[in-house]
Amino acid sequence: MSLRIFFETITGRWETVVNEQFSGHPIAELFRKDFKNEVASIVSDFDSSYTVKASVGAGNWASVPWLSVLNPMLTQSTQDGIYPVYLFKADGSGFYLSLNQGTTTPIKDLGRVAAHHRAQSIRDKVLMLIPGLKEWGVPDIALNSTTTLGKSYEKVSISAKYYDANNCRAC
């Protein structure tokens, strides 16, 4: 299955599946297994040391499902570090490919305000070191999430490219 088909299926069904039974749901399985394996296969063609992680929630549907690619030289976890991630909007209207930062560990270690300042500092440094990221994407993302965790992904995006679900031919 092509990545575009995965994107179309996930965005096209997300708004309704979050009102359905979570355990064993075919979209959850598609996302966590098939979509993840497809991306892992593509990534392993370039570097087999990278890890692909995916989540649609743990026990309940996530507001913002995601799939990340972790470079072990930068991070071992989505809770800290810098990594590319697909972040799907809570309403299924589209998704971002974002160069993002983990939020859980910095917030736990530093507190929310200090972690936010740290994320801004890292964002500024990365954009200075890789100026092409400014032209590649947008600096701010809107995931339409009502949860604290879902909103936290927005504030730590370094740069992101948006893909509208109604125009997935560009995906």
Kindly list the domain boundaries of the chain, sorted by start residue.
3-165
Say how many CA atoms lie within 13 Å of 139 toward its Cβ.
9
What are the backbone angles phi and psi of residue 114, rounded to the nearest 5°? -65, -40
Q: What is the pLDDT of residues 126-170, one digit of tens each?
A: 999 999 998 898 889 999 999 988 999 998 999 999 999 988 665
Identify the band that residue 171 occupies on the pLDDT scale cut at 50, 70 and 90.
Answer: low
Query: Could you identify the residue written with the tokens 């399985």?
Result: 29
Identify the band that residue 51 occupies on the pLDDT scale cut at 50, 70 and 90.
Answer: very high
Q: What is the pLDDT of residues 59-98, one digit of tens each?
A: 999 999 999 999 999 999 999 999 999 999 999 999 999 9
Strand spans (E) along 3-158: 51-55, 66-70, 82-88, 94-101
Q: Which pLDDT belongs to residue 138?
A: 86
d(CA 42, CA 3): 10
Q: What is the pLDDT of residues 88-118, one digit of tens each?
A: 999 999 999 999 999 899 999 999 999 999 9
Q: Which pLDDT belongs to residue 64?
A: 96
Query: Could you identify the residue written with the tokens 């965005």?
Result: 11
